[in-house]
Amino acid sequence: MIDEIHAARDEALRRVEAAAGVADLDGAESALLGKRSALAALRQRLGALDPDERREAGRALNEARARVEEALAARRSELAAGARADRLEAERLDLTEVVPTRRRGHLHLVTQTRDRLEDVFVGMGFVVAEGPEVETDWYNFEALNMPPAHPARSMWDTLYVDLGPPESTLLRTHTSPVQVRVMQAQSPPIYAVMPGRTYRRDTADASHLPVFHQIEGLVVDRRITFGDLAGTIEAFTNAYFGPDIHTRLRPSYFPFTEPSAEFDITCVFCKGDGCRSCGQVGWLELGGCGMVHPNVFRAVGYDPEEWTGFAFGFGIDRMTASRHGIDDLRELLSNDIRFLEQF
C-alpha cells in the first residue's frame, strides 16, 4: 500500500511539473486531488487495513497529498509569472522605434501658408520682421494715430493683460504695431512683411477665431504711390493663388492709413461667378490697406514731407481657408488628425 501511495504521489508530481499553463494546471488539480483521483481511491481502501497499517498508510496519504498541493501552488505561481512576463513583452511599446511605414508629422497648414507667403514676399524683395504678441497701448493704438478714447479703437475688441496701469498692456489685436517697431528700428527705405499671431475678443465661428494670424506689409520710400500698393497686392495674390485670381480695392477707413481700402480677391470657389461662399458677389474679403498716415510717420520721427509709404494687413487663417476650400476656420484648431493629414 505504501509503495502504491508513493507511486501515485510521484505520478501526480510529474503531471504538475508537466502542466503547460494555468488552465492545464486547473484541470490537473481536480484529476490529482479530486474524488476520482488515485489518491482518493487509495484512501477508500484504508478501511480494509488493520489499525497499524491504516495509521501508517493514512499518514503516508496525508503527506502525499500535502506534497502534491505544495507542488501545485509552486507551479501555479511559476506559470502565472511566466504568463505575466509574456503579456508585458507582447504589450511593450518601444517609443524609440521608427516604423518605416508610418507617415511622419508635418507643419500645420497655417504654418505652411505663413511660410509660403514669406517666400512669395521675400521673392519680391521684402524682408521678414517680427514683434511681441503682448503689446503696450502705445504701439497697438496710440502710435497708429488712435489717441486714448479715439472711437476707432472699438474696431478691435481688445483683450487686456493685467500688468501696469489699467488697459496699458494688451494682446495685440493686429500686426500693425510691428510696423511702428520696424520704423523705429531703422531708417527708410523699408520693404518688410510682419507675420504673427493676433488676439481679439471675437467668438469663434466659421469665419472668426479669437486667436488668429495676420501678415502685415510695410513699404516706406520716396514717391511711393497708391498704384504701387495696388500692384504689390495683385502681384502677391497672383503668386500665391495663381493667375486666375485678381484683386480689387474698396474705399474703407483705418486711422493709420489715408486713403484706406479693403482688398478682396476673386472668389476661389466660383472664380467670380457668385456662389454661397462669397455671398453671390464673386469676391472674398482678405484684408485692409492704405497709404501710411502722416501722423504715424510723426510718431516714429520720420518726416512725412520726405517719406511716403503704404501698408497692408490680412488674415492668414482666412487666406488658408480660401486656398484649400475649408468652409469653417474652427477646423484649423480642432486637432483632428483626419483633417490635418490631408494637407
Q: Does the protein bind ligand FA5 through residue 315 (CB under 6 A)? A: yes
**Grid-cell match 521684402, residue found:** 126
The number of CA neighbours under 13 Å toward the Cβ of 226 is: 15
Given the complex with ligand FA5, which of 209 and 224 has the nearer CB atom? 209
Taking 3-state DSSP, the helix, strand and coil percentages for the chain, each rounded to the nearest 5, stand at 45, 20, 35
Strand order in the sheet with 169-171: 134-136, 169-171, 159-160
Given the complex with ligand FA5, which of 12 and 199 has the nearer CB atom? 199
Q: Which of 68, 192, 311, 332 binds ligand FA5 (CB under 6 A)?
A: 311
Q: For 292-331, b where at least 16 C-beta lie within 10 A, e where not — what string?
A: bbbbbbebbebeeeebbbbbbbbbbbbbbbbbeebeebeb
Q: Which of 69, 202, 221, 331 binds ligand FA5 (CB under 6 A)?
A: 202
Residues 141-200 that bind ligand FA5 (CB under 6 A): 174, 176, 200
State which amino acid sits at residue 36. Answer: R
Q: Which of 126, 139, 212, 240 binds ligand FA5 (CB under 6 A)?
A: 212
Given the complex with ligand FA5, which of 37 and 140 has the nearer CB atom? 140
Given the complex with ligand FA5, which of 13 and 290 has the nearer CB atom? 290
Interface characters, 264-293, with ligand FA5 (x: CB under 6 A) = ---------------------xxxxxx---
Given the complex with ligand FA5, which of 116 and 208 has the nearer CB atom? 208
Q: Per the structure block, which three cell numbers stand in for 81?
A: 509569472
Q: How far is the first Cα of the chain from the last one, in angstroms, to the nearest whole number?
A: 83
Give the Cα separation of 24 and 335 in Å (integer). 49
Given the complex with ligand FA5, which of 114 and 318 has the nearer CB atom? 318
Q: Per the structure block, which three cell numbers stand in for 21?
A: 499553463
The CB-of-257 to ligand FA5 minimum distance in angstroms stands at: 5
Q: Which residue is nearest to ligand FA5 (CB)?
A: 315
Please identify, among the stretches 130-138, 240-248, 266-274, 311-319, the one whose residues bind ligand FA5 according to the rule CB under 6 A: 311-319
Q: CA triplet 118, 329, 210: central angle to 5 degrees?
A: 85
Q: Which of 257, 266, 308, 320 binds ligand FA5 (CB under 6 A)?
A: 257
Q: Does the protein bind ligand FA5 through residue 237 (CB under 6 A)? A: no
Q: Does the protein bind ligand FA5 through residue 65 (CB under 6 A)? A: no
State which amino acid sits at residue 27. Answer: G
Phi then psi dihedrals of residue 232, to 5 deg: -65, -45
**Grid-cell match 485678381, residue found:** 246
Please identify, among the stretches 39-47, 51-59, 120-128, 305-313, the one whose residues bind ligand FA5 according to the rule CB under 6 A: 305-313
Q: Does the protein bind ligand FA5 through residue 320 (CB under 6 A)? A: no
- The distance between the two most distant Cα atoms of the chain, rounded to a whole number of Å, is 132
Strand locations in the chain, DSSP E? 127-128, 134-136, 159-160, 169-171, 190-199, 211-221, 247-254, 257-266, 283-292, 308-315
The CB-of-331 to ligand FA5 minimum distance in angstroms stands at: 13
The CB-of-262 to ligand FA5 minimum distance in angstroms stands at: 7
The CB-of-207 to ligand FA5 minimum distance in angstroms stands at: 7
**Please, are residues 304 and 297 in contact by the beta-carbon 8 Å criterion?**
yes
Q: Per the structure block, which three cell numbers stand in for 112?
A: 505652411
The three-class DSSP label of residue 203 is: coil
Given the complex with ligand FA5, which of 131 and 288 has the nearer CB atom? 288
Please identify, among the stretches 47-55, 82-90, 188-196, 310-318, the one whose residues bind ligand FA5 according to the rule CB under 6 A: 310-318
The CB-of-200 to ligand FA5 minimum distance in angstroms stands at: 5
Interface contacts to ligand FA5, rule CB under 6 A:
174, 176, 200, 202, 208-209, 212, 214, 216, 254, 257, 260, 285-290, 311-315, 317-318
